[in-house]
Structure 1
Amino acid sequence: MSGGTIYGVGLGPGDPDLMSVRADRLLRNARHVAFFRKPGRNGQARKIVDGMIPGSATEFPMEYPVTTEIPLSDPRYNALLATFYEDCAAHLKNLSNTGEDVVVLCEGDPFFYGSFMHLYSRLRDGAQVKIVPAITGMSGAWTATGDPITWGDDVLTILMGTLPEDDLARRMAQTDALVVMKIGRNIEKVKRALKTAGLYDRAWIVEYAQMPNQRVCKLSDDCEEITPYFSIIIVHGQGRRP
Structure 2
Amino acid sequence: MITVQPSAVRCGTIHGVGLGPGACDLMSVRADRLVRGARHIAYFRKAGRSGHARRIVDGMLRDDVTEFAMEYPVTTEIAVADPRYNDCLSAFYAGCIDHLAGLVRGGEDVVVLCEGDPFFYGSFMHLYTRLQTIAPVCVVPGITGMSGAWTASGAPITWGDDVLTVLMATLPEEDLVRRIRDTDALVVMKIGRHLGKLRRAVAAAGREDEAWLVEHAAMQDQRVTPLGEADAVTPYFSILLIHGQGRRP
**Which of the residues 182, 185, 190 maps onto 2:190?**
182
Please name the residue that 1:231 is paired with: 238
The answer to whether 1:157 aligns with 2:165 is yes
Percent of residue pairs bearing the same amino acid type: 67
The answer to whether 1:12 aligns with 2:36 is no
* 1:225, distance to aligned residue in structure 2 (A): 7.5
Distance 1:98 1:112 in 2: 30
The answer to whether 1:201 aligns with 2:201 is no
Distance 1:139 1:226 in 2: 23
Q: Which amino acid is 1:67 matched to? A: T
* 1:59, distance to aligned residue in structure 2 (A): 0.3
Task: Map 1:13-52; keep pairs closer than 5 Å.
Answer: 13-52=21-60
Q: For residues 4-29 of structure 1, give each alpha carbon's deviation from its aligned partner in whole angstroms, at most 9, with x where no partner exists.
A: 00000000000111000000000111
Contact 1:207-1:227 at 8 Å conserved across structures: yes
Query: Per the alignment, in what secondary structure is the counterpart of residue 214 of structure 2?
Result: strand
* 1:105, distance to aligned residue in structure 2 (A): 0.2
**Which of the residues 73, 89, 92 maps onto 1:81?**
89
The answer to whether 1:72 aligns with 2:71 is no
Q: How many positions carry a matched residue from both structures?
A: 241
The answer to whether 1:92 aligns with 2:100 is yes
Distance 2:236 2:210 in 1: 20
* 1:197, distance to aligned residue in structure 2 (A): 0.9
The answer to whether 1:211 aligns with 2:214 is no
Q: Which amino acid is 1:188 matched to? A: G
Contact 2:150-2:156 at 8 Å conserved across structures: yes
Q: Which amino acid is 1:182 matched to? A: K
Q: For residues 115-152 of structure 1, give each alpha carbon's deviation from its aligned partner in whole angstroms, at most 9, with x where no partner exists.
A: 00000010011110000001000000010000000000
Distance 1:31 1:190 in 2: 43
Contact 1:209-1:215 at 8 Å conserved across structures: yes
Distance 1:126 1:110 in 2: 19
Contact 1:215-1:226 at 8 Å conserved across structures: no
Distance 1:185 1:224 in 2: 12
Distance 1:73 1:212 in 2: 36
Please name the residue that 2:65 is paired with: 57
Distance 1:54 1:88 in 2: 23
Contact 1:207-1:226 at 8 Å conserved across structures: no
Distance 1:239 1:214 in 2: 27
Please name the residue that 1:112 is paired with: 120
Distance 1:35 1:200 in 2: 37
Please name the residue that 2:247 is paired with: 240
After superposition, the Cα gap between the structure-2 partners of 1:170 and 1:152, relative to the gap in structure 1 and judged at 3 Å, is: same
After superposition, the Cα gap between the structure-2 partners of 1:194 and 1:228, relative to the gap in structure 1 and judged at 3 Å, is: farther
**Which of the residues 161, 172, 180 maps onto 2:180?**
172
Distance 1:86 1:214 in 2: 36
Q: Which amino acid is 2:56 matched to? A: I
Task: Give 1 or 2 for the bigger CA radius of gyration.
Answer: 2
Contact 1:31-1:56 at 8 Å conserved across structures: yes
Query: Per the alignment, in what secondary structure is the counterpart of residue 168 of structure 1?
Result: helix
4+ aligned runs moved over 2 Å, structure 1: none
Structure 2 unmatched ranges of 5 or more: 1-9
TM-score, scaled to structure 2 = 0.95
